[in-house]
Amino acid sequence: MIGLTEWWNDLVATFVKCFIREDRYMLLLDGIGITIKISLLAVVIGIAIGLVIAFCNLSKSKILNLFGRIYTDIIRGTPSVTQLMIIYFVVFATVNWEKWIIAAIAFGINSGAYVSEIIRAGILSIDKGQAEAGRSLGLNAAQTMSYIVIPQAVKNIFPALCNEFIVLIKETAIVGYIGLVDIQKAGDFIKSQTFEAFMPLIATAIIYFVLIKILTVIMARVEKALRKSEAK
């Protein structure tokens, strides 16, 4: 019993040292805000780019098709941390934008390559008869794609897009390379200031887990609602 009491007291003391003293918990709270901002903007950029690249890959134009394949191959074939550093230290080196915006652009460009494949696969999964039915009703190719194919494809690709968003949140843990203090970097700062590794790392892992769990629950409910509307 004495050993358990001592262990508990040491645990509480370590917790206070890591998070309460000098308001170090604020580093984690600020880090959560940075991670969420980057992830949300990046997913919007990624979907926008992914949609364009998907149509390039599906296009009958050899130039557009080649552009889409080159973009996808380069992005998927190089590490995201390298892309982040190129975007920040080279492409936007002379641009006076906030770091988190540049980071979101870098992650959005990276995500766009993967989202494009998700969208392309979703569009190809729709039976060709759907497009033919739209054309027989007098719709042109753009209208058929907008009103018939894409609405059906969204329901098929939604789970994969949710998974991409989850992956994106975890990938943002590398933004410390450009001097941003996200969740992971906040944990590193606390570790270096307190010389305690266990508590900051566990706290970082728990925060990521909770964020992703909340997102998973929300996305599951949205997907369920989409399935219900499809059944009707």
Q: Which domains does the chain have, with CATH numbers?
A: 35-175 (1.10.3720.10)
Q: Report the C-alpha dihedral over residues 80, 86, 89, 92, rounded to 10 degrees.
A: -100
Interval 11-29 mean pLDDT: 92
* Per-residue pLDDT at 2 exceeds 60: no
CA distances for 96 relative to 30, 79, 93, 105, angstroms: 22, 25, 8, 14
- Cα angle 111, 113, 117 (rounded to 5 degrees) comes to 115
| More confident: 134 or 60 | 60
How do the residues of the chain divide into helix, strand and coil, expressed in percent and rounded to 5? 90, 0, 10
Q: Please say if the pLDDT value at position 1 is more than 70.
A: no
pLDDT in tens, 177-214: 999 999 999 999 999 999 999 999 999 999 999 999 99
Each residue of 59-102: pLDDT tens digit? 889 999 999 999 999 999 999 999 999 999 999 999 999 999 99
Q: What is the pTM of this model?
A: 0.89
What pLDDT, on a 0 to 100 scale, did the predictor assign at position 211?
A: 93
pLDDT for 157: 87
Q: How far apart are alpha carbons 69 and 71 in whole angstroms?
A: 5
